[in-house]
Structure 1
Amino acid sequence: MSGHGAPDNDVSSIKAKGLDIRVAIVAASWHTEIMDGLINGALRAVEDAGLLPKLIRVPGSFELPVAAARLAPHFDAVVALGVVIRGGTPHFDYVCSAATTGLTDVSVRTGTPIGFGVLTCDTEQQGLDRAGLPGSSEDKGYEAVAAAVNTVAALRGAGV
C-alpha cells in the first residue's frame, strides 16, 4: 500500500525555530494537471515552513538533474518535481533511471538535500492520485519539500 509507513511530513518546526532555509523547486513541464498539483503542494509546504522558494521550470524529468546540479551550490535544499508515465517503449525506463541516478548523484556530490518528487507511474490515474489534487490520496509535492527541509534541519542540528 502506497504511503504506508510514511514519516511525519510536519514542517511547522522549521517555522517555529525560525530556520532560514533557501529552497529551490525545479519542476518539469509534462503532464500539466499533475505537475500543477505537485507544484501547488510543494509551494504549500514551503509556505507552511515559513520559507520563500525559487521556482524554476524545465522541459521534462530528464532535465531535472542538470538543473538541480546548477542550483544545489546556491540553495540549502532543492526539490525536484516531475512525472513520467509508462508508455509502450523503453523510454520510461531510461528517463526514470536517468532522473533518479542524476538526482542522487547531485545530492551526494554536493551535500545538498534533494527532495525527490518525481512520480514514476504506470498510468495517468496513478499520477493524479499522488499529485495533491482534490480527491488525491497523496501529496508528493508537499512530501518532497518536507523531506528536503527536514533533512537540512537534521543536518544543522547535528552541526553539519
Structure 2
Amino acid sequence: MSGAGSPRIAVDPTGARELRVAVVAAQWHERVMDGLVDGALRALAEAGVVDPLVVRVPGSFELPVAAARLARAGYDAVVALGVVVRGGTPHFDFVCQAATSGLTDVAVSTGVPVGFGVLTCDDDAQALDRAGLPGSREDKGHEAATAAVATALTLRTLAVPRPGDAR
C-alpha cells in the first residue's frame, strides 16, 4: 500500500508559523478535491501554518501557472492539488505530463517547494481511496502539504539564496 513512509516534518515545526503557504486546487471531481483540500489544510494547521491562502483553478492543467504566480509572489511553499481520471482518450496522458512537468519547473525555477498532490488514477474509486475522505486508505492532500512545509523548513536552513533573491 502506498502511503507507508509518508513525509513527516523532521525540522522544528515552530518555524512553520512564519511560513506563507498557498494551496492551489483544481475544481474537477469536487468530492475528491474537497477531501484533498481538507487534508492539506489539516496538515498545515498541524504544522502551525497560519492563514494559508486557498486558490481554485478549473483543472489540473491550470495548476502550474497558478503555482508559478504564487511562488513568484513570495510564498514560501505551494501545495498543488488535483485529480486526473483516465478516460478512453490520450487526454489523461497529456494532462498528467503537463501538470507534472509544469509543477516541477515551478519548483526548480523559483526555488519554492511545490507539494505534489495531483492524483493520477485509473478510475473514480482509486481517486476516492486517496482523497482523505472517511473510508479512504490514503490522504494525499495531507501528504503533499506536509512535504511542502517540511521542504520549506529544510530550505530555510540552507545558506543558498532562492533564484532571483538579492544577494
TM-score interval w.r.t. the shorter chain?
Answer: over 0.9
Match of 1:29 in 2: 27
Which sections of structure 1, spanning at least 5 residues, go unmatched? none
Is 1:60 paired with 2:59?
Answer: yes
Kept in 1, the 8 Å contact 2:11–2:150? The answer is no
Kept in 2, the 8 Å contact 1:68–1:103? The answer is yes
RMSD: 1.6
- Give the count of matched residue pairs: 158
Q: Whole-Å Cα distance in 2 between the matches of residues 40 and 31 of structure 1? A: 14
Q: Whole-Å Cα distance in 1 between the matches of residues 94 and 102 of structure 2? A: 12
Is 1:154 paired with 2:154?
Answer: yes
Kept in 1, the 8 Å contact 2:15–2:153? The answer is no
Deviation at 1:53, TM superposition (A): 0.5
Deviations 1:85-105 (A, max 9, x none): 000000000000000000000
Which sections of structure 2, spanning at least 5 residues, go unmatched? 161-167
Moved over 3 A (4+): 10-13, 16-19
Q: Whole-Å Cα distance in 1 between the matches of residues 10 and 159 of structure 2? A: 20
Identity of aligned residues (%): 64
Residues 1:137 and 1:78: Cα distance change in structure 2 (over 3 Å):
same
The letter for the 1-side match of 2:110 is: T
Q: Whole-Å Cα distance in 2 between the matches of residues 157 and 19 of structure 1? A: 15
TM-score (norm 1): 0.93
SS of alignment partner, residue 47 of structure 1: helix
Q: How does 1:5-154 map to 2 (within 5 A)?
A: 6-10=5-9, 13-14=12-13, 16-17=14-15, 19-51=17-49, 52-73=51-72, 74-154=74-154
Q: Whole-Å Cα distance in 2 between the matches of residues 12 and 121 of structure 1? A: 32
Q: Whole-Å Cα distance in 2 between the matches of residues 11 and 28 of structure 1? A: 29
